[in-house]
Amino acid sequence: MWELIKANQRRSVVLFVLMGIILIGLGFVFGMVFDHKGTGGGAIVGIIIALLVWFILSLVAVTSGSAIMLSASNAKEVTQDVHPQLFNVVDEMRIAAGMSKMPKVYIINTDAPNAFATGMSPDKAAVAVTAGLLARLNRDELQGVMAHEMSHVINRDVKFMTIAGVMLGSIVIISEIFLRSMIFGGGNRSSSKEGNGQAQAIIMIIALVFAILAPILAQLLYFSISRKREYLADASAVRLTRYPEGLASALEKISNSNIDMPMANKVTAPMYICNPLKKKGMKMADLSSTHPPISERIRILRAMAGGAGLANYQSAYSQVKGGTSNIIPGGQLKQTEDIGIRMGIASEVMDNKTTARSSNDIMMKVDNYAFINCDCGMKLKVPSNYDGDEIMCPRCGARHEV
Amino acid sequence: MGTVGIALLVILGVIVLLIFMVIGIYNSLITLRNQVKNAWAQIDVQLKRRHDLIPNLIETVKGYMGHERQTFEAITQARSNAMNAKTVAEKGQAEGVLSGMMGRLQVAVEAYPELKANQNFLALQEELTSTENKISYSRQSYNDQVLFYNNKKQVFPSNIIAGMFNFADETFFEIQDQAEKEVPKVSFS
């Protein structure tokens, strides 16, 4: 595992350097445009401004990125009694991964099935799942999803996504500011200078092209690596659970649902296990999506025969995708691991009605409803702001203390 | 400075470099060994949890499963054997027997529909499933750590340092499958 993290870090450094070059290049070119005297001082100011934007955004993301992500998605921290099985499953994966601290557990009150993890390091990890996910998945499937999410934290994907996301954000913001200032302020500048007008015009054209291309380029870089990490998290998850079918059938259930998640947006979408914004048309799906196609992830998981190790995932990946590209950083594959696949736990198939009811129950528990079982078989659900000491069962008329 | 001086400096540099390397390797061996110990402690926590859950479980199901008295006695016996086991190998053996018994009990429960509808039992069953999982995951993580440590110990150059400071090999924790064969047959008469 440790080697994997290191290899990941080496990969990220390349990406960060490339994005950094784009960022500094942007600052340089834009500075030149506003540098009417041609002394080069403008370019330096441009670079400084670009770095300043990046620095401020980083500061915000590193210090409160987790909190922003959790509150933006309306996640509520819950205690063990709200959903004991969820806590048990998270604890099991914590043990399997050798993490010393139990992550915080959050539930999002929506019927759309999804999940995400945040935390720059394993000690600060938090996992969030939706009520719809808990209602739909059985134990093994839930375990697969939690293993995938915790792998993101352990592989330092969250850290990477935050840093890369901030760089991408800075590039987009700076380009946007420049393009807008061109539209609104471009007129008076053209008449202000006559000396090196031609050179200025050329710089202007370069800058415009740069402003349009840089964000696209940065996004493609970001997305291509983020997709690779999605596969890697799948591979790590199977290595933890030793049960590829759990994650595969969880992904299948998640992709079968087309309920939109109102609390997700373009910024938070890459953090989820499956893209929460599915209704939006995806023309350039292959290049611009942060997640690989789910059907492909499922096929790879189901093609894993003979073991649950990282090498087994790699060979299943090559088999399904046909190519020779490496998902697992090379050093890991040299260690031959002999890891068997375990047996699944039998569970009952739930119909839509039970799923909807149990999803509702979970949401009520998150909102601190009290549950009272009446002797007549009725289940009373009392909101936390109910005032009064007693409540009457509407079916048999028995009185219960609240 | 003469050639002798330069040669001396080079030799000194190499010695300093070597010392740093030895310290580095020694420290990483210690870290790995501590991780093995830590992972072992995790297994112990989970095994103890299972031992604590068993009396509670038997208390809950006793009323429903009158015919399984022999199973309960066998589980109680296996539990106390497991609690008394000392070495890694002994523990593996005893816990294997206990695991087999618990599996049998889970199967036997299928024949008691009223039990499966009992809320207390369902909660207990989730705890039990989770504990069994935690035991196998902590074992998995322990064995991973042992593998890392033993690998590190065997490859050059850390094998020299390990030899110098007497780092011992760690044992894998296997819960033996053949233990299940030794479980007494449960009679349903």
**Of A77, A92, A141, A149, which one is the catalytic site residue?**
A149
pLDDT of residue A90 exceeding 90, the answer is yes
Per CB-CB distance under 8 Å, the chain B contacts of A98 are 35, 39, 141, 144-145
Q: Alpha helix locations (H) across A35-156?
A: 41-72, 84-97, 131-136, 139-154
In this complex, the residue of A1, A91, A240 whose CB is nearest that of residue B134 is A91
Residue with tokens 């595992």: A1
CB contact under 8 A, A92 and B137: yes
Residue A61 to residue A40: CA distance in whole angstroms: 32
H or E stretch covering A245: helix A244-256
Angle at B24 between CA B21 and CA B28, to 5 degrees: 140
pLDDT of residue A1 exceeding 80, the answer is no
Instruction: Name the pLDDT band for A185 (thresholds 50, 70, 90).
Output: low
B99 at A interface, C-beta within 8 A = no
Catalytic residue flag (residue A348): no
- What single-letter DSSP state applies at residue A394? T
Per CB-CB distance under 8 Å, the chain A contacts of B126 are 84-85, 88
Query: What is the domain partition of chain A in residue ranges?
Result: 2-67+159-224, 74-153+226-334, 354-401
Per CB-CB distance under 8 Å, the chain A contacts of B136 are 342
Cβ neighbours of residue A175 closer than 8 Å, sequence gap 6 or more: A26, A210, A211, A212, A214, A215
What pLDDT is attached to residue B184? 39
Q: What b/e string do you get for A138-176 counting C-beta neighbours within 10 Å, with b at 16 or more?
A: bbbbbbbbbbbbbbbbbbbbbbbbbbbbbbbbbbeebbe
Residue A70 to residue A90: CA distance in whole angstroms: 18
Structure tokens at B175: 């819960």
The CA distance from B144 to the nearest CA of chain A, in Å, is 9
Q: Give tens-digit pLDDT for A25-41.
A: 888 888 887 766 666 67
Cβ neighbours of residue A181 closer than 8 Å, sequence gap 6 or more: none
Instruction: Name the pLDDT band for A131 (thresholds 50, 70, 90).
Output: very high
Respond yes or no on whether ipTM tops 0.90.
no
Mean pLDDT value across residues A387-391? 78
What pLDDT is attached to residue A37? 64
Average pLDDT, chain A: 81
H or E stretch covering A197: helix A197-241
In this complex, the residue of B141, B145, B151 whose CB is nearest that of residue A95 is B141
> Is pLDDT larger for residue A378 or for residue A66?
A66
| A96: nearest CA partner in chain B | B137
Per CB-CB distance under 8 Å, the chain B contacts of A88 are 126-127, 129-130, 133
Structure tokens at B64: 């429903």
The CA distance from B141 to the nearest CA of chain A, in Å, is 5
Residue B90 to residue B82: CA distance in whole angstroms: 8
Q: Give tens-digit pLDDT for A276-319.
A: 776 544 444 455 566 778 888 899 999 887 777 888 888 888 88
Mean pLDDT value across residues A217-246? 86
Determine the 3-state secondary structure of A118 from DSSP: strand
CATH number of A74-153+226-334: 3.30.2010.10
Residue A336 to residue A313: CA distance in whole angstroms: 13
CB atoms within 10 A of CB B71: 21
Structural domains in chain B plus CATH codes: 3-182 (1.20.1440.20)
The CA distance from B152 to the nearest CA of chain A, in Å, is 12
Flag residues of chain B having pLDDT under 50.
178-189
Average pLDDT, chain B: 81
Q: Give tens-digit pLDDT for A233-265.
A: 999 999 899 899 999 999 999 888 777 787 777
> Is pLDDT larger for residue B18 or for residue A223?
B18
What pLDDT is attached to residue A188? 47
What pLDDT is attached to residue B178? 42
Q: Alpha helix locations (H) across chain B?
A: 3-62, 69-84, 88-109, 113-117, 119-154, 158-164
Determine the 3-state secondary structure of A116 from DSSP: strand
Structure tokens at B144: 């991973």
The CA distance from A296 to the nearest CA of chain B, in Å, is 28
Using a pLDDT cut of 90, give the percent of chain A over it. Answer: 16
Determine the 3-state secondary structure of A224 from DSSP: helix
